[in-house]
Structure 1
Amino acid sequence: MLLSAWSDRLGLRAAGGSAVAAATMGDLPRWDLSDLYDDRDSERLRQDLAQAGSDAEAFARTWRGRLADVPAAELARAIAEYQRIDEILGRAASYAQLLFAADSSDPANGRFSQSVNERLTDISTHLLFFTLELNRIGEQEMQDRLADPALAPWTPFLRDLRVFRPHQLSDEVEQVLHEKSVTGATAWCRLFDETMSALRIPLDGHDLTVGEALNRLSDPDRALRARAAAAIGTVFGDNIRLFALITNTLAKDKAISDGLRHYPRPGSYRNRSNMVEDAVVDALVQAVTSDYPRLSHRYYALKAKWLGLDKLEHWDRNAPLPSADDRVIPWDEASRQVLGAYESFDPRMGAVARRFFDNAWIDAMPSPGKASGAFAHPTVPSAHPYLLLNYHGRTRDVMTLAHELGHGVHQVLAAPQGYLMSGTPLTLAETASVFGEMLTFRALLDAETDPVRRRIMLAGKVEDMLNTVVRQIAFYRFETLLHDERRTGELLPERIGALWRQVQAESLGPAFNFTPEYDVYWTYVPHFVHSPFYVYAYAFGDCLVNALYGVFQSGHPGFQDKYLDMLRAGGTRRHRELLAPFGLDAADPGFWRKGLDVIAGFIDELERA
């Protein structure tokens, strides 16, 4: 767990509408990273890295080659020491990642991030043996040791680690792959980030960042949306060979690793990491793709009618509806709305959420060089999470705040599980975020009495859910097709574009026409680069939350207590254990239908309006 993963919604949708004056939105918060380190030249950072380096070397001298024979109590002591060192590395990694995300256009931040990654890789090389040796302990022998009360608390960590046991390589090969990662996949990811951050989209006399240009695709002015779409397509097209090279290289790199480890298919590693069976993911994908006509095809036909269009172009997908409220929502009002929803659900959850606003844990100001979209980074249990947003004052930005705050609350509640067991698989990491969105949406909808505004709000929620479920499964299908085909040779940019157009046409339906420049829009989705096959977790989380929210609405006894217990569990329990108290089972073929029925029900209501 060297580099702390974070949960995000980059690429999920263009957040908000046209840029608005900061004065209209009020004072937007900027985070203070000094709870991690004061600055790039921090003496504490230098000391932490030096201490972690010497501790890692001492750890290796003490434990290498001994794990097969040590008693359970000693093994527990070794795991605790491993966690302590690993958390120091995680703190440094988190600081470098957050600094780079806040401004990747500053070369000093890029250099610092790379230097930290290289230093952490050097240090963690001394720790690499530990998990490899743990996985070489026989199954029965490990079970016998876990019966000892001293080792029993580490059962979830060992259980999840041993999922990868069949795919583990020799120590020498694992070390080579580990050390070369900084000049391999990590370097290509950095190239993508820095390239995307530096791109400027010329539009109406202004040079916009990619995030600013994508926001124009939600503008009420259709002509502006069309100009923005063409400008984005031109710039992406001018850089298409570089993005295709990055994509082909990373896909091949992954195929080599998957082949060495004998994963049956490109998505298998991600599924193992998510502690979910391939068959469960297949069932989700099948359920969503089969429901394309009932969901997205039906909704976008309605949207075309509302907009008075025979066909929608791709730049109409996030267009506001006629009579939509384009009022800018000040930050203070957005904060009150979201916090009010959280506190109404349960004051305990609201108290945790309020800490993000009372402290400098949120960075919401859009700025050049800043990562687009939004994310929640858990950092380390000895500190606290940070939220990154690009707040433009639209209703969707309020929903994004509610989403990322859910991640943050989840991460705070799970922190007592410790660095090795607080992290949640992606399939469950989206639960608290999507649930927070639903709470906020329901609170706003229940407070609205005007029928027209209610319809607009309901349509906006449907679009969000389609973006979260249908769009992300289409992204997953695109990745699957691309990685499968890459195994037989490099894909030309035109072929990648054809695969992109294929899955978009399938998912969005006959209401859409796709102009040629849309074939290059796959380039800006960072999930494809940073975390292959991540995206289905959004659909998993949304459908799960729809079913979970239905249980809540039914008046299920003790729901709040059970829900908070689920969040506190972090990564110590699997999805079946976590959902059982609510009477839900993701392995049940009917489970996904429950979630998709919620979306279909909203569309039914819109058809009747």
Structure 2
Amino acid sequence: MPDTAVSTRPSRPFADLHRAPDADQRGGAAGREDLGSLPEWNLNDLYSGTQSQDLQDDLERARGQARQLREDYEGRLAGLNGDTLAVAIERYEAIEEVLGRLMSYAQLVYSGDMSNPEVGKFYQGMQESVTEISTDLVFFTLELNNIPEDALEAKLESEKLRVYQPWLRDVRAFRPHQLSDELERMLHEKHVSGRSAWVRLFDETMAALRFRLHGEELTSSEVLNKLTSHDEATRKAAAKTFGGTLGEQVRTFSLITNTLAKDKQIEDSWRAFARPVSSRNLANFVEDEVVDALVGAVRESYPKLSHRYYRLKAKWMGKDTLPYWDRNAPLPEDDDKVVPWQNARETVLNAYAEFSPRMAEVGQRFFDDNWIDAPTRAGKAPGAFSHPTVPSAHPYVLLNYQGRTRDVMTLAHELGHGVHQVLAAHQGHLMADTPLTLAETASVFGEMLTFQRMLRNETDPKRRKVMLAAKVEDMLNTVVRQVAFHEFERRVHDERKNGELLPERLGEIWLETQREALGDVFLFDEEYQYFWCYIPHFIHVPFYVYAYAFGDCLVNSLYAVYENAHGDFADKYLEMLQAGGTKRHRELLAPFGLDASDPNFWHQGLGLIERFIDELETFD
């Protein structure tokens, strides 16, 4: 999906709900036999194959319908009455859903094996075909935005059109940044040979990299997992080979980053966005001031959160300082227990069921119907995500499951996304999607439910300490690290306005933002300057990362309400998820008495992390 504010959107990119790697690289040296039978997804619910007749038929049908829609309505939308405009939107939505199904399938196939040239060719071909077809649809949202406000209000007296009022509200939010019809069409058409091509280059470069460790050639997911090994020599060797190998490719990654930052700067300038982050904030329907308050609150809390925790961790490990490869090291008391897949499944579903049987019922379908792809394998996308696809189908979850407790948390996270996507599907293709900030709410809440249940059931003090420490590290990765990523991204985009940034400068910004976030307890060797290279969010979805901190702090506040709530909390929560994209964050949080525009809201959320650290200090 291009960043173009008003162009037609054939599908959500697979990265939109793809957790930032440093937030969820869950380690583990377990062999596949220890994990049990890991599921692989069945994409036949979308299409039976890359060359299947059903896929070709949908392509041709969408091509004809898009052309016909343009012939029927281009230049005429403003003159339609409310009922007739509703019919036009229904036709537009149906075409968009077919295009969304096509691109969702292509993206999922590609995520399963990014290193296969034939798969890459199929993915590129689908992008080109869908972009060509959807060019006939670009006029639609442009003309909707050109309808005067009073004229649209008159049309909205139609009951049929009022169904689409939330979507019209969101489309028209981009009116101040809309360009001429010709420019919008040109930007849409060239996306596939511009930004999209650079994103593909990044994906395929990362997927092709192999990291040599102890005589083995490992993928990025596999080598990053070694950073949680109990053996310090293994952690160090993994960190060295990872950073060193990224360093060998740093010129390519720097070129991609510089090119995409310049591309964004040009488009933002034409669209009159005040700051590089502003277009993302508008897409998330959250005010710049709210994001600034979040980022400010987190940075202000670095000393009492991350700095304090990692000093505590250094003491537990018998050290005065920590080399950077010890950041995700297990505690000495951690028995490195392997969690088989079946146990992970039961743990998460039981936690969901305790909160709401409906949540567990929806989550169960992901396991029963092969909607999850769990094993690690060469060429597969790293990290984890839940792709919503389209309402007429269902979401798919990608994991790289390796049997650690943190992998269980990742399953709980992505299943939270999946449940949210299923519950919101009834809103239809145009209104099921949720802004990124609120999309992370369901996932992080699913994690919190799972963690709290596991903690309540654990009576051994050493195990409780290990669990609490792991949760704190997850929360620091989700809040502190992601805000540090945001700061890196902000500084890169700001400096790019004055010219291309050399690889050395990118490394300097990375080290400066990491030192600020993690504190002076850490020592960073030379190769750590290259670790920025592998974060896909910088490339796929600029300024995505603050959504994790937004979601985590929001959930911490929401969970505090839940702990003191009466019996109707679960019902209210499910209603919030079912709303999809029809409501903004103020409306969704109002039933819980929460307001994200209040600066105290963020400090309340950060306070939960602080309390967990307080409890950990009692174990000394």
Alpha-carbon contact 1:14-1:218 (below 8 Å) kept: no
Alpha-carbon contact 2:23-2:481 (below 8 Å) kept: no
Q: Kindly provide the amino acid, as one letter, of the partner of residue 126 in structure 1.
A: D
SS at 1:202's partner residue? strand
Deviation at 1:161, TM superposition (A): 0.5
Q: Check 1:400–1:14 CA distance in 2 against 1; reply closer, same or farther (3 A cut).
A: closer
- Rounded to whole Å, the distance in 1 between the matches of 2:167 and 2:101 is 20
SS at 2:163's partner residue? helix
Alpha-carbon contact 1:543-1:595 (below 8 Å) kept: yes
1:431 corresponding residue in structure 2: 441
- Rounded to whole Å, the distance in 2 between the matches of 1:88 and 1:454 is 49
Deviation at 1:233, TM superposition (A): 1.2
Indicate whether 1:584 and 2:605 are aligned.
no
1:72 corresponding residue in structure 2: 82
Q: Kindly provide the amino acid, as one letter, of the partner of residue 317 in structure 1.
A: R
Of the three residues 432, 443, 468, the one matched with 2:453 is 443
- Rounded to whole Å, the distance in 1 between the matches of 2:532 and 2:268 is 23
SS at 2:23's partner residue? coil
Deviation at 1:18, TM superposition (A): 3.5
Q: Deviations over 1:51-80 (max 9, x none)?
A: 000000000000000011110111111111
1:571 corresponding residue in structure 2: 581
Indicate whether 1:387 and 2:377 are aligned.
no
Give runs of aligned pairs for residues 429-508 of structure 1, distance below 5 A.
429-508=439-518
Q: Percent identity over the alignment?
A: 59
Of the three residues 179, 190, 215, the one matched with 2:200 is 190
2:413 corresponding residue in structure 1: 403
1:132 corresponding residue in structure 2: 142
Of 138-147 and 407-416, the range deviating more from structure 2: 138-147
Of the three residues 346, 356, 368, the one matched with 1:336 is 346
Deviation at 1:16, TM superposition (A): 2.5
Indicate whether 1:11 and 2:21 are aligned.
yes
Alpha-carbon contact 2:45-2:393 (below 8 Å) kept: yes
Give runs of aligned pairs for residues 511-530 of structure 1, distance below 5 A.
511-530=521-540
- Rounded to whole Å, the distance in 2 between the matches of 1:426 and 1:359 is 26
2:6 corresponding residue in structure 1: none
- Rounded to whole Å, the distance in 1 between the matches of 2:139 and 2:502 is 40
Q: Deviations over 1:6-35 (max 9, x none)?
A: 412132335222432111000000000000
Indicate whether 1:206 and 2:216 are aligned.
yes
Alpha-carbon contact 1:423-1:571 (below 8 Å) kept: yes
Q: Kindly provide the amino acid, as one letter, of the partner of residue 290 in structure 2.
A: V
Deviation at 1:557, TM superposition (A): 4.5
Q: Kindly provide the amino acid, as one letter, of the partner of residue 71 in structure 1.
A: N
1:176 corresponding residue in structure 2: 186
SS at 2:386's partner residue? strand
1:149 corresponding residue in structure 2: 159
SS at 2:403's partner residue? coil
Of the three residues 376, 389, 400, the one matched with 1:366 is 376
Q: Deviations over 1:413-453 (max 9, x none)?
A: 00000000000000000011000000000010000000111
SS at 1:207's partner residue? strand
Give runs of aligned pairs for residues 299-338 of structure 1, distance below 5 A.
299-338=309-348
Q: Kindly provide the amino acid, as one letter, of the partner of residue 302 in structure 1.
A: L
- Rounded to whole Å, the distance in 2 between the matches of 1:86 and 1:187 is 22
- Rounded to whole Å, the distance in 2 between the matches of 1:549 and 1:49 is 45
- Rounded to whole Å, the distance in 2 between the matches of 1:423 and 1:514 is 40
Alpha-carbon contact 1:15-1:215 (below 8 Å) kept: yes
Alpha-carbon contact 1:376-1:408 (below 8 Å) kept: yes
Q: Deviations over 1:246-281 (max 9, x none)?
A: 000000000011011000000011000000000000
- Rounded to whole Å, the distance in 1 between the matches of 2:553 and 2:220 is 30
Deviation at 1:556, TM superposition (A): 3.7
Alpha-carbon contact 2:24-2:410 (below 8 Å) kept: no
SS at 2:164's partner residue? helix
- Rounded to whole Å, the distance in 2 between the matches of 1:188 and 1:608 is 50
Q: Check 1:556–1:477 CA distance in 2 against 1; reply closer, same or farther (3 A cut).
A: farther
Indicate whether 1:111 and 2:130 are aligned.
no
Structure 2 residue runs of 5 or longer lacking an equivalent are: 1-8
TM-score (norm: length of structure 2): 0.97
Q: Kindly provide the amino acid, as one letter, of the partner of residue 366 in structure 2.
A: F
- Rounded to whole Å, the distance in 2 between the matches of 1:550 and 1:137 is 44
1:354 corresponding residue in structure 2: 364
Deviation at 1:529, TM superposition (A): 0.4
Of the three residues 545, 548, 571, the one matched with 1:561 is 571
1:165 corresponding residue in structure 2: 175
Alpha-carbon contact 1:14-1:211 (below 8 Å) kept: no
TM-score (norm: length of structure 1): 0.99
1:276 corresponding residue in structure 2: 286
Deviation at 1:555, TM superposition (A): 2.1
Q: Deviations over 1:538-583 (max 9, x none)?
A: 0000000000000000024510110000000000000000000000
Deviation at 1:499, TM superposition (A): 0.3
Alpha-carbon contact 1:14-1:217 (below 8 Å) kept: no
Of 591-600 and 143-152, the range deviating more from structure 2: 143-152
Q: Kindly provide the amino acid, as one letter, of the partner of residue 536 in structure 2.
A: P
Q: Deviations over 1:259-307 (max 9, x none)?
A: 1100000001100000000000000000000000010000000000001
Q: Deviations over 1:211-242 (max 9, x none)?
A: 11111111111111111111111110110000
Alpha-carbon contact 1:10-1:372 (below 8 Å) kept: no
- Rounded to whole Å, the distance in 2 between the matches of 1:325 and 1:73 is 64
1:85 corresponding residue in structure 2: 95
Q: Kindly provide the amino acid, as one letter, of the partner of residue 274 in structure 2.
A: P
- Rounded to whole Å, the distance in 1 between the matches of 2:556 and 2:176 is 35
SS at 2:212's partner residue? strand
- Rounded to whole Å, the distance in 1 between the matches of 2:220 and 2:447 is 25
- Rounded to whole Å, the distance in 2 between the matches of 1:580 and 1:604 is 30
- Rounded to whole Å, the distance in 2 between the matches of 1:284 and 1:409 is 27
- Rounded to whole Å, the distance in 1 between the matches of 2:244 and 2:123 is 31
Deviation at 1:150, TM superposition (A): 2.0
Q: Kindly provide the amino acid, as one letter, of the partner of residue 252 in structure 1.
A: K
- Rounded to whole Å, the distance in 1 between the matches of 2:221 and 2:346 is 26
SS at 1:150's partner residue? helix
- Rounded to whole Å, the distance in 2 between the matches of 1:550 and 1:424 is 23
Deviation at 1:309, TM superposition (A): 1.1
Provide runs of 4+ in structure 1 moved above 3 Å: none
Deviation at 1:210, TM superposition (A): 1.1
Alpha-carbon contact 1:362-1:388 (below 8 Å) kept: yes
2:5 corresponding residue in structure 1: none
1:2 corresponding residue in structure 2: 10
